[in-house]
Structure 1
Amino acid sequence: MQIPHITPTQDAELAARLQHAIDNKTKPVGSLGRLETLAKQLGMIQQRIEIDIVDPAILVFAGDHGVVAEGISAYPQDVTWQMVENFLANGAAINVFARQTGCALHVVDAGVNHDFGARDGLIDRKVAPGTANFAQGPAMSTEQCEQALARGMALARDVSGNVVGFGEMGIGNTTAAAALMHKLTDVPVSECVGAGTGLTPDGIVHKQKVIEAAVAKHGALPDPQSVLATFGGFEIAMMAGAMLQSAAMRKLLLIDGFITTSALLVAARIAPAILDYCVFAHASNESGHARMLAALNAKPLLQLDLRLGEGTGAALSLPIVQAAVSFLRQMATFESAAVSQQCM
């Protein structure tokens, strides 16, 4: 399977022009903080000074996990398909926040253990009805992993707009994300595992032991894609493929919380240049996310103690990105406002 080429955004001449345009606004240099960084990042991605946001969208990928059989979740697996129904009925938090921010929402069945049938608003890209139990064997075959990645890439090609947020739904996927994090960062399992949907302290210890035993069982793995196939989920793999394709198309990627960042971690190990295109929406309250962000040298935009998933953090970060666009496009320059730059 061919991974799409992602072009690094480095361009010294464009970076200098963008910085001049930002510094020439009627404000002290650097006084808009992260908004200035965001504006410059968008300019580097879009390769122009006149940056814009067109048709922002959020993709929510849903999938089930065989490792739920090990008792690693406070919720039953049926909650995955029930929450997908909630998305389709416009009743979930991500529906509320997407409406609030004027963002299109696309719900993708990557591998839910449920037959939805043909449904308005649901994109059916199901690879299989959930992964296998990675405590017993690989979560997916090499072929299934490649299929999920390829379907994510194809889906991203069909999404209009130049800003894409990512989210997920899948009971058991914090366990998969923690295992991926450990294998791709070497952070100890104990520092990767958290409460997920609300495990007790004893439940967290059990989840840790399940992952540690699985890691020992599978041993060394040759590359990031093998790690993904062994421990990941269909929604995580499909999301990683969509991220790779979106970056190759020079779109801005809004990365949500722990599970979404684990998909980005896989993608970044495959194609490091993808990080140039990412805005990390928030620091999740899920234990391990801060360490995962540190491994990616990522600075989150928000700290709201979220741990819901669904792309909610990505949706909440969009107005901040829009503000970065607005100041660069609309704010007066020193010359146009007849303001002395010396006083700044």
Structure 2
Amino acid sequence: MTITTSRVNPSAGTPNAGSGRPRRTRLLLNRTAFLAAVVVVLFAVSVLLGSYTVTIPDFFRILIAHLTGGEKIPGASFIVMENKLPRAVIGTMIGAAFGLAGALFQTMLRNPLASPDVIGISYGASAAAVTAIVVFGASGAAVSAAALGGALGVAAIIYAISSGGTLRGTGRGDAAGNRLILAGVGIAAALHAVVNFLMTRADIRTAADALVWLNGSLNSASWDRAGVLALALAVLLPAVVALAGPLRILELGPDAAAGLGIRVGATRLALVVTAVALAAVATAAAGPVSFVAFLAGPIARRFTGKASLPASALVGAVIVLAADYVAANLAPLLLDGTVLPVGVITGALGAPFLLWLLVTANRKDA
């Protein structure tokens, strides 16, 4: 019997299993680099332009003088170093933190609705912060600490309610994710009622302070808050890097991941703790900036062609920096000088995006 062998010519159109992967990797890297460049441009725009413009040479003079104790430029040094620069730094960090938190939840549960905005974690921070403001008269760091505790507490409650099938690897992944989302939505509704009740019991001045915080704002940005947030991210970002590999395997489903040696329950718990901590520290720094965590992951996936944690973080930073520039510099031109909280702009973007996501999902199911 004669066995005939043929040589495959790659140029003849025969599919090559490995040929597409480098191309997709290059595309992902190129588009991620583009997002990073957009973040740098928006950061520069936030610092240099706006109601008070600063030239690039003056900016570096101010920065060098601040770092070395040299001669300061009257007025400009204070505006740049105490307002514009810490505002842009915190905006970048909270955008990246919210983007990572949303992407971790959405990728782990394989559901675009699984973000801290939807499943109640942001409402936990809001309820705790409003309680601290209205009941105890807290302000500043005390409000941030209360928000952090509220977010972590609500996350623990959601975990306790949904852990029967969501985080221990029992049952189908889609059903498990839906269970966590439904538990979070129910808790969010209850906490929303608590916030409304507290607002009705507060005096006008206290209610105004609480309302500004509830909308998410960078107006109170300072180097102290930036330092605390940077320290928290220095701890959490290595955890995200360590969990990125197991997270990719979890996308295959809990049964397949367990078959590949992943401890599904422990990995999901670590992912939830990390994602909640990212959302909590960002909320504590600037308030519950609406829909950033919800928007960043799906936009990054559409732009890069696949789920990407770095791209999600960069998209989150882009959203916050762009929205804050619009709220602080463009909105006053249209609203007779009114400066809007950044959360108003991101909320205006998130609502139609949610409706679009639901409409496109229905078309795919049809």
TM over 0.5: no
Q: Which has the higher strand share?
A: 1
Q: Which has the larger radius of gyration?
A: 2
Q: Which has the higher helix share?
A: 2
**Which TM-score tier does this pair reach, normalised by the shorter chain?**
under 0.3
Report the TM-score when normalising by structure 1: 0.27
